[in-house]
Structure 1
Amino acid sequence: MKRRIQRISHTLALGLWIGLASSCTPKLGNTLVEDNMMFAQLQLRVAFDEIDYARTNETPESRKKREKNGWGELTNPRNSEPDGTLHLVPSKDWTSGFFPGELWYVYEYTQNNFWKKKAQQHTDMLEQEKMNGKTHDMGFKMYCSYGNGYRLTQDERYKEILLQSARTLAGRYKPQAGIIRSWDHNQKKWQCPVIIDNMMNLELLFWATRESNDSTFYHIAVNHARTTLKNHFRPDNSCYHVIDYDTITGKVLKKNTHQGLSHESAWSRGQAWALYGYTMCYRETKIPEFLQQAKKVEEFLFNHPHMPTDYVPYWDFDAPEIPNEPRDASAAAIIASALYELSLYDPENAERDKERADKILENLSKNYRATMGHDNGFLLLHSTGTKPTNVEVDVPIVYADYYFIEALLRKDRLEKTGKLF
């Protein structure tokens, strides 16, 4: 009760700080971007208090489990649990870089050193991950955090950490198969699994190519993208989640899912990763088939009969109880961010792409936003992690917030300058 009173008092103080009138859902800015970025600042200040509380009050069971599994100290938020508690993760968790990434975006928007210092603090917790070769998630962890940090500060230490992260990621490349191995777990199930999510980690390798003048990174990224394009997609341009490879012959052994409804279903966030990943790959390479693939994925998404009218997908396009299935706000945020970029490369459909992205942001803002001062400081509700195992179903999840802010900033730049980068 004491913590709740402190949190409410803190939030009210923040309301007075920006001169808000007393209201449950006040309008914080004159535009969609201004409104949401002010809301983000308020919520993230709440998040700092919740993070401190969660670290201080970690349960003995949680600590014992963490130590038994060899996990390090708790770092950044991942999600709210169904009971409302905040779930913090160690640096090795694939989501650990999104929260500092959010802070860097807020610093970029505000140019307020308060956010810079907070971003530095939450980024520095992850440095040891530059040597963690047991995961493909180096882009998610290190590029979202250190990558945004380096872009905004040109800190040479960040650059060296990122280059080492890229070298570590490149160490997972399997040349015979032409892919970067995604997971090391479930070895009895898969020989060499590659997930569609891995497309997102290629951005770190493209960055490393420019910064190091070492074309090895580029060739690994392009080979992975081409192999994924060849093997991950169905005739309707939906994608599988997991492809299992023989690393000696490059032969496809299995086409599976891990988080979707079934092996042949279209897991929504996987489709979002594909859209974003191939759009980004086209930016970095100008290889035409990458742009074509992004456009094909968009066509699948927006022509699908189960795409809701608000463009916030159900967790799987083939979920059996639609419309009574959980949504995935994270998938929507990823799609919106990707569409703003795609609009730059497809002039014929640019206005349509921007309109779709705008509609997603408007609906997320109107119907999926958290309650100010609550929800552990998260921005969006109603994301779904892994429904088949009942993990993170219909809860706030950090990567939804990250891509939501990214999409807002992309909208802002496009409208003001006509550019993103």
Structure 2
Amino acid sequence: MAIKGLHSLPTPSLPAMAPIGTVSTMFILLNFISQAIAVPSELYSPLVPQKLLRTFNSLPKPIQYPQYTDSSRPGKWAFFVPDTWTSAFFPTTLYEMDRRRTLCKTLNASGVDVDWLQLGRSASQGLVSLPGHNTQGHDVGFLSFPFVEELKRNPGNQTAINTVNGFARDLAKRFIPAAGVTRSWDNDNQTVVRVIIDNMMNLDVLFSSAELTGNQTLVQIAKTHADTTIKNHIRADGSTWHVVEYDADTGAVLSKHTAQGFSDDSTWSRGQAWGIYGYAQMYSRTGNPTYLETSRRLATYFLSHIPSDGIVPWDFDAPLKDPKVPGGVRPADSSAATIATNGLLLLGSLDEEDADKWTSAALEILDHITELAWKPEWDSLLSNGTVNWPSNNYLTGTVYGDHYFVKVGNDLLERGLAHC
């Protein structure tokens, strides 16, 4: 079933002098949407800065980073070494809090009087040595996030420049020309190229580095990977496989299956969310309408398969009843929901034809997942994340789910859909 109320918004009356597609028209549409669907107050709760500051002060030394909450200590962060795919999300969230300070035009608008930029810079230091010396495969794109944010504030920061370029080199080295993709996960058999849908979110570091260096080969790698993924990773109905394996010599598809989803033919919701967001980013970078249409297709599938309660499940095809889970109900994935809201908001800012549809859908998903997953007593901002159901890691907080929760709050502020 589609999200309740997704297409039920009445059409606003626009001024006669405002042509369709202009900035003024878009502003009116978005402000109408913000009034029709309430923005969750938890996005701007004083608990957000309080929890983030508490987590920063609890980072181990030598530095480790939060990834998910520990099942043996519910609600408490488990910390991991820097050479972990999720390590950059917490520092990047601190940069997002600095962005919120700028948006709200006061240092302590978020309720805590600290210099978030300095905290972000400090927490990022544990990642600086990773380019060329990590085991994260394609996820170096995620690891580049705080350094990309630093360059928005200080374009001449040579450490950030070197780090972004280093991570881009790492990713570019994984490109397999015959297959037309960058290798996601390493495996013992190098003739098999394993690619996951998540990789779409890592391509942006190639564009960031190309802007710094002028190296257009990086852009071509990103485009080729995105084009190949459209051909082989996306089903006719707009759903996605999690994993596709290619022959490194011929580019032939060897298999399509899942690693974190319910079954090889199911649709893992977080992977679908990465795809929505990744193709929206590709369109914003290139203007190629094929990428916009692909993001639309993935978003349409995502939205049409959310159940009537509005809660994003960990896999759209997993059984509704799950005896393994407390309460016997299919787990949600709050991270899939927050990633999707960011992707949908970006899509709404790019797709003038359906801007109101994507934006209202993002707000409604955000409203439902916040109501379900907001946990004031936890270290994480949200609960009800599913890290990896096949590995029995669910009903957790996730650092990436929290990151995209904070980021979507900032995007709403920036677009006039919420207020400080």
State the TM-score, normalized to the length of structure 1: 0.81
Q: Which amino acid aligns with 2:400?
A: Y
- Structure 2 CA distance for aligned equivalents of residues 31 and 287 of structure 1: 32
- The corresponding residue for 1:46 is 54
Superposition pairs of residues 308-347 of structure 1, within 5 angstroms: 308-322=307-321, 324-347=329-352
- Shift of the 280–322 alpha-carbon distance from structure 1 to 2, 3 Å rule, reads farther
Report what 1:82 is aligned to. Answer: 71
- C-alpha deviation, 1:168, in angstroms: 1.6
How far apart are the structure 2 equivalents of 1:341 and 1:367? 24
| Alpha-carbon distance change, 217 to 394 in structure 1, aligned in 2, over 3 angstroms | same
The letter for the 1-side match of 2:252 is K
Q: Report what 2:98 is aligned to.
A: 107
In structure 2, C-alpha distance between the alignment counterparts of 1:190 and 1:369, rounded to whole Å: 45
Change (3 A) 1:310 1:152: farther
The alignment partner of 1:270 has SS state of helix
* Residues 269 and 313 in structure 2, CA contact (< 8 A), matched pair in contact too: yes
Offset, 1:336: 0.4
What is aligned with 1:368?
373
Task: Check whether the contact 1:74–1:88 (CA below 8 A) recurs between aligned residues.
Answer: no
Residue type at the aligned position of 1:348: E
CA distance in 2, matches of 1:246, 1:31: 47
Question: In the alignment, is residue 358 of structure 1 matched against residue 363 of structure 2?
Answer: yes
* Higher RCO (CA-CA < 8 Å; seq separation 6+): 2
Q: Counterparts in 2 of 1:34-183, with a 5 A limit? A: 35-36=43-44, 38-52=46-60, 73-84=62-73, 85-111=76-102, 112=107, 114-132=115-133, 134=135, 135-142=137-144, 144-154=145-155, 155-183=157-185
Q: Deviations over 1:177-222 (max 9, x none)?
A: 110000114x369821000000000011111111211101100000
Residues 273-321 of structure 1, C-alpha deviation per residue, up to 9 Å, x if partnerless?
11001110000011111111110111111122xx134543111111123
Q: Secondary structure at the match of 1:216?
A: helix
Identity %: 32
Name the amino acid aligned to 1:178: G
Matched residues in 2 for 1:168 and 1:124: separation? 19
Change (3 A) 1:292 1:191: same
Residue segments in structure 1 that go unaligned for 5+ positions in a row: 1-29, 56-72
Distance apart, 1:43 and its partner CA: 1.1
For residues 147-169 of structure 1, give each alpha carbon's deviation from its aligned partner in whole angstroms, at most 9, with x where no partner exists. 11222233232112111211121
Distance, in Å, in 2 between the alignment partners of 1:86 and 1:34 is: 20
Higher helix share: 1
Query: Which deviates more, 339-348 or 99-108?
Result: 339-348
Taking a change above 3 Å as real, the CA distance of residues 31 and 281 of structure 1, as seen in their structure-2 partners, is: closer
Give the letter aligned to residue 220 of structure 1: I
**Structure 1 residue 386 corresponds to structure 2 residue 391:** no
Say whether the 8 Å CA contact 2:303–2:361 is kept in structure 1.
no
RMSD, matched Cα: 2.1
Flag the 1:318–1:280 CA change in 2: closer, same or farther, 3 A: same
Matched positions, count: 361
Say if 1:80 and 1:193 are closer, same or farther in 2 by CA, change over 3 A: same
Residue by residue over 1:336-391, the C-alpha shift from the partner in whole angstroms, topping out at 9 and shown as x without a partner, is 001111012221211111111111222233331121xx322x11110001101212
Contact kept in structure 2, 1:311 and 1:360, CA below 8 Å: yes
Paired residue secondary structure (2:67)? strand
Could you say what secondary structure the match of 1:245 adopts? strand
Which runs of 5 or more residues in structure 2 are unaligned? 1-37, 108-113, 323-328
Task: Tell me the CA shift for residue 31 of structure 1.
Answer: 6.8
